[in-house]
């Protein structure tokens, strides 16, 4: 567990950091990057395989679930959100919440339409 009350000056003293002995940033083992990369490749293969199968109305949900797992891996490891304080996590989660509101808001409209007709095409009765 990191000791958050012992901040050290870095360089000329203008930057504060917890890990001044190691430099700025987080030291992440290359093994973790390799595992995440392998997971992303595997999930891409799963995405392609899932696209070849007709899941009916659940196809979109499955595709979004796989994409959510992939973006979570990228954000937590490559963007170092795994190591950030709670305030940064709240800031990172807010756009996801807005995106979910937009997607869920359109799913209701999509589910009640039998035939999707573009607005510029008239339908003969």
> Could you tell me if 20 and 8 are in contact, meaning their C-beta atoms sit under 8 angstroms apart?
yes
Q: How many CB atoms lie within 10 A of CB 77?
A: 19
Tell me, yes or no, whether 50 lies in a domain.
yes
Burial 35-55 (b: 16+ CB within 10 A, else e): ebeeebeebeeeeeeeeeeee
Tell me, yes or no, whether 99 lies in a domain.
yes
> Which of 12-26, 68-82, 97-111 tops mean pLDDT?
68-82
Phi-psi region of 109 (alpha: psi -120 to 50; beta: other; left: phi over 0): alpha
Structure tokens belonging to residue 87: 């305030």
Average pLDDT, the chain: 78
Domain that holds residue 105: 8-112
- What is the number of structural domains in the chain? 1
Tell me, yes or no, whether 31 lies in a domain.
yes
Three-state secondary structure call for residue 27: coil
Tell me, yes or no, whether 118 lies in a domain.
no
Least confident of 21-30, 31-40, 74-83: 21-30
Rounded Cα gap, residues 13 and 9, in angstroms: 5
Q: Is the pLDDT of residue 82 over 70?
A: yes
Tell me, yes or no, whether 125 lies in a domain.
no
Helices (H), 14-116: 30-52, 59-73, 86-112
Instruction: State the pLDDT at residue 124.
Output: 66
Tell me, yes or no, whether 122 lies in a domain.
no
Tell me the mean pLDDT in the region 20-37.
Answer: 75
Instruction: State the pLDDT at residue 66.
Output: 95
Tell me, yes or no, whether 3 lies in a domain.
no
Length of the chain: 125
Rounded Cα gap, residues 100 and 108, in angstroms: 13
Q: Is the pLDDT of residue 56 over 80?
A: yes
Q: Tell me, what DSSP letter sits at residue 119? A: T
């Amino acid at each position: 567990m990191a000791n958050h009350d012992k901040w050290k000056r870095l360089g000329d003293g203008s930057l504060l950091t917890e890990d001044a002995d190691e430099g700025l940033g987080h030291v992440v083992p290359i093994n973790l990057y390799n595992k995440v990369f392998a997971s992303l490749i595997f999930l891409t293969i799963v995405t392609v395989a899932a696209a070849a199968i007709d899941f009916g109305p659940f196809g979109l949900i499955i595709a979004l679930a796989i994409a959510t797992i992939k973006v979570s891996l990228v954000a937590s490891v490559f963007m170092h959100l795994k190591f950030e304080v709670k305030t940064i996590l709240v800031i990172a989660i807010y756009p996801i919440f807005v995106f979910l509101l937009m997607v869920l808001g359109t799913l209701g409209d999509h589910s009640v339409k039998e035939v999707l007709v573009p607005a510029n095409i008239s339908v003969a009765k």
